[in-house]
Amino acid sequence: MAALNPKLSQAIALIQEVADTLDDTVQADKQQALDRGMRELATLCNRRVSELEKEIPLHRQKRKDDAERWRVTSGELVKKGFTEAQIEKVLEDMPKPLGEHEHYLAVIQPLEDELAKLIAFVNDRPRYDQTLLAGTRFENWQPEPTGADTDQAALMRLCRGREIHADA
């Protein structure tokens, strides 16, 4: 192969240097976006932790209230002389509350499991291993790209695969 003109070789080397610098800059910006996204995700997880810490006791109390309402209503109907079939008919719009263990398994345990996963993620700082969020609403969460992120990604797609070699 014929040797390239020295000025052309210098120009190609300069273009390659610019492309490498651009790649480094984009990679650094991607990492900043990822870090920003993980901080945003941690904030969302912290909010959900606060919600769950309030929600779980409310569910427990609601089960107790529903069970008490069912017991009182059916007791009043028995006192008024209603038969078992009549009581069931009157109470059919009021679903029979789950027992404490069934309620725990159906309602409380999934919330407690989610809470534990969220706390594990938030405490995994600064790494923020997103696999800890498996089975939560944040399992597949992705940060919203900023305008700068999308501009840089488009520029990288244009440059990708177009390395220039001085010996070509």
Mean pLDDT of 154-164: 52
Question: What confidence tens digit (pLDDT) does each residue in 81-131 have?
Answer: 989 888 888 888 887 888 889 989 999 999 999 999 999 999 988 888 889
Mean pLDDT of 59-87: 91
Question: What confidence tens digit (pLDDT) does each residue in 117-127 have?
Answer: 999 999 988 88
Give pTM, 2 decimals. 0.62
Record the tokens describing residue 44, joined without a space.
């969302």
